[in-house]
Amino acid sequence: MRFLYPAFLFALVSLAIPVLIHLFNFRRYQKVYFSNVQFLKEIREQQSSRRNLKERLILAARLLALTFLVLAFARPYVPGPNSKNAGSQKAISVFIDNSYSMQTLNREGALLDEAKRRAKEIISAYSINDRFQLLTQDFEGKHQRMLTREEFNDAVDQVKISPRSRNLQQIVDRQLSLLNTQPNTTRSLYIISDFQKNISNGQLLKTSGFTVNLVQLTGNTLANVAVDSVWLLNAIHRPGESEKMVVRLHNYSEEDSQKIPLKLLINGSQKALGGFNIKARSVQDDTLTFSGLQSGWQKGEITLQDNPVTFDNQFYFSFNVKQQMPVLLIDGGTPNTFLNSVFNTDPFFKIKRVPDGNVDYASLSTYPLIVISDVKTVAPGLAQQLKTYVSKGGILSVFPAIDADINSYRDFLQAMNAAYPEGIVTETAKVRDLNLRNPVFASIFENIPQSPDLPEIKRYYRLSNTGNGAESLMQLQNGNSFWASYTSGKGKVYVSAVPLDDNFSNLQRHALFVPIMFRIALLSGHDQSLFYTLGRDETMEIPSVETSEKQILKLVKGSQTIIPDVRQDEGSTLLYVSDQLHETGLYNLNKQDSTLAVMAFNDNRSESDLSYFSHDDLKKVLPDNGNILLGKGSLKDAVTQTNLGMQLWKLCIILALIFLAAEILIIRFFKLDKTRVTTQPV
């Protein structure tokens, strides 16, 4: 047994007080004088042995009562595993899970309210001189400091639901980053959460030897269906055309969901409505078709009716319907009549033609498709800019010149992991087949012909066998590639083995040439993402935008305005919102009074899965010095016992009261024997 405040043991000298009282008070005798013993009828005779017993019992009760009272102030305890530094100053970090799942109810109300109460109970178990940190899912800068008990309680009252969700190791690392700045203190970590399964991957926590205490709160088990994601099947969106959207629904519950109502809104107008059945613990993709869109940015919203879990019933997205699609044609100085004719047949395409020596590198990112043809030597500067353009999602189509500089084309295309011309092959050939599985050929043929008329070749460039993510469009009879696509970064490179010249092939005059070029252009989706996720996508990439001190970018939603951190990258602009965004919805990206884009933000759907770790699962991720505290009853005693061991001061108080009561009972009810003495009358 040890004492938390051993200095109070000096008060044991007060035990001399009842001893002195015993020595000087109980030894006094009272004399009674009688004028005549003739009238004495009865006397009480006290036996010395019984008198001494009573006095000693009273003394013992007083001594024991005083002893246990002194011991209670000294705070005795039986040492526990974490009681080595009892009495020293402590630094305690408490994490309160304020993610969406903490809105779940139990018998005591919302889990977040219970978590706040538990945090205050934990702090009340420590000394007023100890210091505390409050941490939430937001990882706010104001929480990276130590607080007094009063400051901590005030900060707890201000905690609100957050859209962010961190894993268990991130939480512990954040707590340790502050506690490591508190030397010469005993440091402990507390995490109060419902411990959804998404909070950990099951690996053992790295705690740097500090004690980690988990407090698990239990809510009601609820069924939940949410929209996990959406995507459009059309890469390019044209006014008035039919659009197809795939909606991914996820049933997170253990029961089948029947006829879940779903509604699609575009710019506030209802475009689709339906009811869906989803099996338990399954994912289902459904396709919605809509049309009648005007040019400009489209604000989309999908709404579910799924109670009682409602935080994931809305899903926002945005996309741009373009009035025209810009296409950049780069040539060696002479316009290519075949390419001009292809894109001039449809007013949707807006072509711009420039020679290879006058390319505006800053504007490359504004073109979904760039076609380079008849360029003899690709300059290193142009090659580097086109590489950056493709890596960020651009589509590049390459037709070599009839007298191409093989070395420059090798350096140009090899840098993008694409095949390059190795030399001219002067032999006639014919395209053997088409790769109909390639997305380029989707919707080109109503009926696939048995013996299609394919391009004929007089001579061609032999393409190298190198290439990353190569996918053939057309192949020659000898097995050589004639036209193929290659993945490079986020974009694609289409390389042809022939120039657009009659002396090489009839490709440029063939019936397939126009629809293939259209499909390549329409597959060149160079738009921003349909949506972003709060807490995950803190960096957003948009086409290059020039900014200045007076012309800043703002994200605006109603009366809410957020100014992101803007950084310029090669061919693009990066927006950093950090922890400024807290609300889902559709935000306008404004530059002064003009709207550059509409950006959609949704909650992290990991919170939608309301399944939790069991007690045994939590034990597997905790190190040996970790503890799991049950979220039942008061945590103050449990925390005190964990830190110090078995507390005995309450027992001492009880024993002190018992012995005080014993003293009173002895004095009140301990009666001495009575003897009667009679006298004879004279």
- Per-residue pLDDT of 72-107, as tens digits, reads 888 776 766 555 555 578 899 999 999 999 998 888
Q: What percent of the chain is predicted at pLDDT more than 90?
A: 48
Residue 294 inside a domain? The answer is: yes
Query: What's the rounded mean pLDDT across residues 379-383?
Result: 95
Say yes or no to pLDDT of 678 above 60. no
Domain boundary at 322, 352, 373, which? 322
Residue 640 inside a domain? The answer is: no
Say yes or no to pLDDT of 284 above 70. yes
317 with 350, same domain: the answer is: no
Residue 634 inside a domain? The answer is: no
Domain region containing 484: 325-522
Tell which wins on pLDDT, 54 or 448. Answer: 54
Task: Give the bridge partners for 303, in sequence order.
Answer: 263, 314
Cβ proximity of 229 and 312 under 8 Å: no
253 with 357, same domain: the answer is: no
Residue 53 inside a domain? The answer is: yes
Residue 662 inside a domain? The answer is: yes
- Per-residue pLDDT at 33: 64
Nearest 5°: the CA angle 241, 293, 440 is 35
68 with 95, same domain: the answer is: no
301-355: pLDDT as tens digits: 999 988 888 888 999 999 999 899 999 999 999 999 999 999 998 999 999 999 9
Say yes or no to pLDDT of 26 above 60. no
104 with 197, same domain: the answer is: yes
Cβ proximity of 567 and 545 under 8 Å: no
70 with 95, same domain: the answer is: no
- Phi, psi (degrees; rounded to nearest 5) at 132: -135, 150
> E-assigned strands of 404-478?
421-425, 429-434, 456-457, 460-463, 471-476
CATH of the domain at 297: 2.60.40.10
423 with 362, same domain: the answer is: yes
- Per-residue pLDDT at 140: 87
541 with 506, same domain: the answer is: no
Domain boundary at 522, 555, 575, which? 522
Say yes or no to pLDDT of 492 above 80. yes
Residue 632 inside a domain? The answer is: no
37 with 19, same domain: the answer is: yes
> Which long-range contacts (C-beta less than 8 Å, at least 24 apart) are formed by 141-145?
144/177, 144/178, 145/178
Query: What's the rounded mean pLDDT across residues 518-529?
Result: 81
CATH of the domain at 193: 3.40.50.410
Task: Say whether 404 sits in a helix, a strand or coil.
Answer: coil
116 with 167, same domain: the answer is: yes
Residue 399 inside a domain? The answer is: yes
588-609: pLDDT as tens digits: 999 988 999 999 999 888 888 8
35 with 97, same domain: the answer is: no
- Per-residue pLDDT at 439: 86
32-49: pLDDT as tens digits: 665 655 555 555 444 566
Q: 651: Cβ–Cβ under 8 A, 6 or more apart, which residues?
A: none
pTM recorded for the entire structure: 0.74
112 with 234, same domain: the answer is: no
Query: What's the rounded mean pLDDT across residues 18-29?
Result: 69
Q: What percent of the chain is predicted at pLDDT more than 70?
A: 90
Task: Say whether 272 sits in a helix, a strand or coil.
Answer: strand
Say yes or no to pLDDT of 641 above 80. no
**Total domains in the fold of the chain:** 5
Rounded to the nearest integer, the mean pLDDT of the chain is: 86
- Give the count of beta carbons closer than 10 Å to the beta carbon of residue 565: 13
531-588: pLDDT as tens digits: 999 877 678 888 888 888 788 999 999 989 999 999 988 777 899 987 788 889 999 9
Q: Which amino acid, 154? A: D
- Per-residue pLDDT at 682: 47
Confidence grade of residue 300 (pLDDT, cut at 50, 70, 90): very high
- Phi, psi (degrees; rounded to nearest 5) at 186: -90, 120
- Per-residue pLDDT at 677: 47
605-616: pLDDT as tens digits: 888 888 899 888
Nearest 5°: the CA angle 135, 139, 145 is 55
Residue 111 inside a domain? The answer is: yes
- Per-residue pLDDT at 673: 55
Q: How far is 486 from 469, CA to CA, in rounded Å? A: 5
Of 462, 331, 348, nearest to 399 by C-alpha is 331
Q: What is the dihedral of CA 125, 128, 131, 133, to 10 degrees?
A: 50
Q: 364: Cβ–Cβ under 8 A, 6 or more apart, which residues?
A: 328, 370, 385, 386, 388, 389, 394, 571
Q: Which of 244-253, 523-532, 627-636 is modeled with the greatest confidence?
A: 244-253
CATH of the domain at 484: 3.40.50.880
178 with 230, same domain: the answer is: no
- Per-residue pLDDT at 505: 95
